[in-house]
Chains A and B, each alone.
Chain A
């Protein structure tokens, strides 16, 4: 469905130096946003594309959707070259850029759907059937006739998802779809994404800074940093790699003070401390013995590392040159 082979994108940036001459003749510097990346995505996969700010995520998505052209390398999306067949590709993909609405704000969502249907050359009768089906599927019958600007952010996001599904795309590109949403609405959007994949077999390519999105929605994660892919793995396999690393939460019956820990402390509250340990190197009995001297322990729990911590660890290792 998506094939990327040795993809590169460099930009030329102008750096103005001091002085009048520097202003008139700025230095041109090449900046590599995407550096020789390769990966494939199969039909029906849900991919999480993750990386710190400036890693090259958005640049990669823009090349996949044909918004910008690669400097070198090969890209095929749904059998098409995005830089050559952008219009044809538009019929096969749906895109949602979290911060940029695709709906007409002054009109009800249903009007946007009719307009989008015309844009995608969907016959009126067929369009009405699809709208009807999708609106019922996502439970937005009550809100599609209300002007979009009067909807809550969460309602708007669900309407956006319906909008990008109207033309039955084979692939959805979702760039930060849950940005700025509260936890309840995030869950709704995540469920909607999973429903789209399950019911329609749509391949999903998702970027998000919220690793909860990735953890709960994606099958596979691709981590990009400094324009390069540093990890491309199934999510469960990735977490298994870090299985021995755990957060251990210890709760006392009263506040603890003047304590010294040899361990990596994640957080310390009045009667609770959370540490990060590698249980393959340190036994739980050892931990228990050390912490018992600070007070009466009423609860102790070993939790697997959240994905966020795993990713942070990977970034740190890459920065450290590992």
Chain B
């Protein structure tokens, strides 16, 4: 355990060197929310859709965006390590590569915290507060923490695809498309068949669960959503483990 704590600490140290980049990405975040706010204002014209008011929708988008912005594009680094053989440096050390990758990426929570503060301030300025309870906030925080962690697992999953394909960035593009749909509109907006498809994807819970819990909190539903989040995380972790096991067997590290 000590080694993974140290990895997390050193990753934090490295990430703090990119603090300016964080603040620049907040500008992009702010622009997205502003655009979505104007768009839904124009579309809804004071009406509701699927039970959401404009204010609740914008808060939904803010929470969803905050999660998607709270990620490192570590799939690129992992993919590069596999393709250029640098992964050998990890294979010859007494450390588990998957746990190492996760520990290294846990420093994303610093970024998430900055994003969360910014998101709340932005939401209060743009649309003002909505009806939330302390319970709702606590569940949202828990769902967000799990959501960010699922984001780390998704990055690891896409990175490990490099064991099996020449190019893994196209898979990230596909995932981005799925997440975009759920950032822009809650799951309820889609036809039932689409909802069923989305319900089996881990990307759904990383975004939808915290955003839904915050905007339309209901304890029973919140518990189910948290449960589904945890389950999707566990399944994804299992898939990652299998991929890694198979990938290491077929490894062909460059060099020499």
Contacts and interface: CB of A to CB of B under 8 A. Distances in A.
Contact of B86 (A100, A119, A120): A100
Q: Which 3 A-B pairs have the closest CB atoms?
A: A58-B256, A118-B6, A90-B94
A223 interface: no
Contacts of A118: 2-3, 5-7
Interface stretch (A104-112, A186-194, A229-237): A104-112
Interface in A72-105: 86-88, 90-91, 93, 95, 97, 99-102, 104
A106 B14 contact: yes
Interface of B: 2-3, 5-7, 10, 13-14, 17, 84-86, 88-89, 91-95, 249, 251-253, 255-256
A69 B17 CA distance: 40
A114 interface: yes
* Interface class of chain B by DSSP: helix
Contact of A100 (B2, B88, B93, B251): B88
B227 to A, nearest CB: 35
A120 B6 CA distance: 12
Given A100-B85, A102-B89, A111-B13, A58 B94 contact: no
B10 A107 contact: yes
Nearest to B100: A119
A251 B14 CA distance: 59
Contacts of B251: 67-68
Contact of B95 (A99, A119, A207): A119
Give chain A's interface residue range (CB within 8 Å of chain B). Answer: 35 or more
A57 B256 CA distance: 7
15 contacts: A11-B252, A57-B256, A58-B256, A66-B92, A86-B92, A90-B93, A95-B92, A100-B255, A106-B17, A107-B13, A111-B10, A115-B6, A115-B7, A119-B95, A176-B256
Interface of A: 11, 57-59, 61-62, 65-69, 86-88, 90-91, 93, 95, 97, 99-102, 104, 106-107, 111, 114-116, 118-121, 175-176, 207
B253 A67 contact: yes
Contacts, number: 83
* Interface class of chain A by DSSP: mixed
Nearest to A65: B92
Contacts of B14: 104, 106-107
A5 to B, nearest CB: 22
A67 to B, nearest CB: 5
B21 to A, nearest CB: 13
Nearest to A56: B256
Contacts of B5: 118
Contacts of B13: 107, 111
A67 B10 contact: no
B92 A91 contact: no
